[in-house]
Amino acid sequence: MSSSWRHAAVASFVVVCLSCANQSIAQTPSRPEVLLKKMTLDEKIGQLVQRAGGRQRALNSRIDDAELERVRAGGVGSYLHVAGAEPLAKLQKVAVEESRLGVPLLFAMDVVHGYRTIFPVPLAMAATWAPESEERAARVAADEATAAGLHWTFAPMIDVARDARWGRIVEGAGEDPYLGARMAVAQVNGFQGGNTLRPGSLMATAKHFGAYGAGIGGRDYNTADLSERTLQEVYLPPFYAAARAGAGSFMVAFNDIAGVPTTANRELVRGTLRERWGWQGLMVSDWGAIAELLNHGVTADRAGAGVLALDASVDMDMVGGVYADDLRDAIAKDPARLKLLDEAVLRILRVKEQLGLFDKPLAYNDPDREARELLAPEHREAARAVARQSIVLLKNDGKLLPLNADKLRSIAVIGALATDGRTMIGSWKAQGREEEAVTLLAGITAAAPKVRIISAPGADPRNAEVSGIPAAVKAAKSADLTVLMIGEDYDQTAEARSRSDLGLPSSQMELARSVFATGKPVVVVLTNGRPLAISGLAEQAPVILETWMLGTESGNAIADVLFGKYSPAGRLPAAFPRTTGAVPGYYAANPTGRPADPDLAKDTVRYHDLPITPLYPFGHGLSYSEFRYSNLELSTTMVDPGGRVDISISIENSGNVASDEVVQLYVRDPVASVERPVLELRGFKRVELGAGQHKRVTFSLTPEQLAFWSPRGQWLIEAGRIDFWIGASSADLRAKGSFEISKTHAGTAPAAALPTRVTVSND
Ligand code: BGC
């Protein structure tokens, strides 16, 4: 690891940490060090304790007299599930004015895709392929959350997810480590906002460190059993990128990797993250996960669990109470453990200092700012802009879309989800309110005021009840066209919501079949938080618009796309499989000795009953326009260590509407000492293009980005040819080239974590 990178990582929480380092060089103890010296053992342990201040729906409800007494005694370091400028000011005052050492509390919440103004679910935001939009969304969320007294969010979730059965795929950026790393950095920057001393800075948490997304069978909390190479190349790069971007905190995953629960994984947490990557922020456990070490069967008692977690350098115990109740005895038994405790306390105090809480403990508690920020009109506007960027046009046979509102006399809006504001908000709603969410019905009604709108729920994804279908069919028959919203509801894709069947819920498919049978034109609008196996639907539906769960402005954003106010340009961040049995089926697969044969003639790696390709590939998404790729150029065909190759191409919007195009760069190392994936994303750019306009896009790639994890446990870049492709999806590659790496040399970092510089110029 280069020393400049180590330096950047150690300055984990920007600006102020650099001054901490200077202070220690000058041998002047920092404020955290001074405080630590004054602390009793109980006060030290208290800093490691995070308690739930309320339940999801009743924030602050647990802050009773006993809780205040605990704060006065210095027994709490942080609360989660609390909020509100005023209530949190009162609680903070107890900590700073009535406890012996006056250490401020950290207030936390899962502010994942918005606080009160809700943005699209993270998987949908990844579908924008526009990190700048993701950053803007995180900034708005931070502005609102910090106005409501919060210092810390448990986001971004940056777990790579290659198995759509996993319910938490909705919370992340999908299947790819490179896209995931870019979205991770964007969110860290957006939440923290650069200067952590600014009261609008919300400390980010990169979660769930390890390989939470790799649970076997897509079951939540399940064991991940994967090779060191896959861990290093696929699951860890977004975390490396987040560490490098200065994420103030990390959260360890609930699950184990090959039998080692991450909460107790000293080698991964203390070794890889802290020692090798140089990250020194606050590591929090997941909810009760230290106590769960007993269930994992790696310790016989709670004290043992606490020691394992502390030894792994997990600083804060979220809710489980193990540190609070059992650490004292463990330390008495072995005083050497005091050093580990002191380190954890110091890391927590440093974060508090870096947020400015010692000097201005009430800086986040301005009720006027809170009233101004929450659901501010410009926040709603930003949410609408990101929401329409997230929409993916999967299929548009006969160019049925966009609709012309002037030519339609009536539209039937069918499906229970079309009036379901709660589902639009999606998983992790923070303080989002369903009554403030624009449903599809409301969005269409507002966008087409002269059109007669007929609505019917038809069937609800939550149950098998289909008695509403005849009325829906009647509505479809009586209208010029039907917009059919079907899919999953918010509670079918989330934590602990893994599904063994990725098909549409049965009632939804039955509703769709009945509506198609009317023979009238139908536009299917999908709402869901994961890739679905919709081969049956795709055979019958001429048009499918993937709209995920788009947050507060859902209906308006969808209407913008339906009526052609905005040309869709979202791209799938994870492939849609043909059947559930075809998962995991990611594009960046190894070649194998019997590569898939598109003609299905030979015995190959594919299933006997299915083509190897997914229904809709990674990176797929159509547009109302068309694009031509031409004039591929390379700055060099031989790249030396430390050098770079600039790959540029012209993109022309050859259609007649303005639209974005997502230009994607994929690479392959065709001959290496270990198998390399058949394609790997290494660059992308969402480019705005007016009708007829062309632009030149240049990707600057370095050899470091071609490194792989060698059998000797190091990043290695091998000399030889590298092939690359530029295209509109992983299966729509438009231009191909290659260059050579001149020399074999060691790499320093996970290749997928490193950003490719992209420039766009007029052509
Ligand atoms: C989840 C975390 C979350 C925490 C606090 C856990 O169940 O796994 O992602 O941050 O709860 O709400």
334, two tokens: 């072995």
In the reported structure, the alpha carbon of residue 211 is separated from the centroid of ligand 1 by a whole-number distance in angstroms of 15
Protein residue closest via CA to atom 2 of ligand 1 = 286
Spatial CB neighbours of 621, under 8 Å, sequence gap ≥ 6:
127, 392, 393, 394, 568, 569, 570, 571, 572, 662, 729
Closest-lying ligand 1 atom to the alpha carbon of residue 205: 10
Indicate the range of 206-220, 336-350, 396-410, 606-620 predicted with least confidence.
Answer: 606-620
Please choose from 51, 80, 110 the residue to mutate so as to test ligand 1's pocket, defined by most ligand atoms within 8 A of CB: 110
* 286 CA from centroid of ligand 1 (Å): 6
Q: How far is the CA of 254 from the centre of ligand 1 (A)?
A: 9
Task: Write the pLDDT tens digit of every residue in 598-647.
Answer: 666 778 888 888 988 999 999 999 999 999 999 999 999 999 999 999 99
Residues 391-401 have a mean pLDDT of 98
20-24, 25-29, 207-211, 630-634: range with lowest mean pLDDT: 20-24
pLDDT of residue 608: 85
* pLDDT tens-digit series, residues 32-42: 999 999 999 99
pLDDT at site 58: 83
* pLDDT, position 22: 41
Which residue has the least CA distance to atom 6 on ligand 1?
287
Q: Are 507 and 461 in contact (CB under 8 A)?
A: yes
What are the strands of the beta sheet with 249-252, ordered from one edge?
205-209, 249-252, 282-284
Average pLDDT over residues 658-663: 98
Alpha carbon nearest to ligand 1 atom 8, residue: 286
Q: 3-class DSSP state for residue 366?
A: coil
- In whole angstroms, how far apart are CA 529 and each of 166, 310, 489, 680, 703? 10, 35, 8, 24, 36
How far, in Å, from the CA of 206 to the mean position of ligand 1?
Answer: 12
Which pLDDT band holds residue 56 (cuts at 50, 70, 90)? low
Q: Name the token pair of 596.
A: 């898939």
Give the distance (Å) from ligand 1 centre to CA of residue 1.
Answer: 32
pLDDT band at 71 (very low <50, low <70, confident <90, very high): very high
Kindly report whether the peptide bond that precedes residue 402 is cis, defined as omega within 30 degrees of 0: yes
What's the alpha-carbon Rg for the chain, to the nearest Å? 26
pLDDT of residue 199: 81
The 10s digit of each residue's pLDDT in 225-237 is 999 999 999 999 9
* Range 523-551 average pLDDT: 98
Confidence of residue 57 (pLDDT cuts 50, 70, 90): low
Structure tokens at 369: 């700012």
For a pocket test of ligand 1, which of 59, 106, 249, 287 has the largest count of ligand atoms closer than 8 A to its C-beta?
A: 287
Q: Which residues are catalytic?
A: 286
User: Which residues, judged by CB distance below 6 Å to any ligand atom, belong to the binding site of ligand 1?
Assistant: 80, 110, 154, 207, 286-287, 495
Confidence of residue 27 (pLDDT cuts 50, 70, 90): confident
1 has pLDDT over 50: no
Residue 21, pLDDT score: 39
pLDDT of 673 higher than 70 = yes
Task: Determine the Cα–Cα distance for residues 63 and 42; give it in Å rounded to an integer.
Answer: 21
Atom of ligand 1 nearest to the CA of 208: 9
Tokens 């040399």 belong to residue: 745
pLDDT > 90 in the chain, percent: 92
> Lowest-pLDDT range, 35-49, 552-566, 594-608?
594-608
Per-residue pLDDT band for 3 (boundaries 50, 70, 90) equals: very low
Beta 481-487 vs 522-527: how paired, if at all? parallel
Q: Whose CA is nearest to atom 7 of ligand 1?
A: 287
| Strands of 346-400, DSSP E | 392-396
pLDDT at 195: 83
Q: What is the pLDDT of residue 26?
A: 55
11 pLDDT more than 50: no
Give the confidence band of 471 by pLDDT, cuts at 50, 70, 90.
Answer: very high
Residue 304 has pLDDT above 50, yes or no: yes
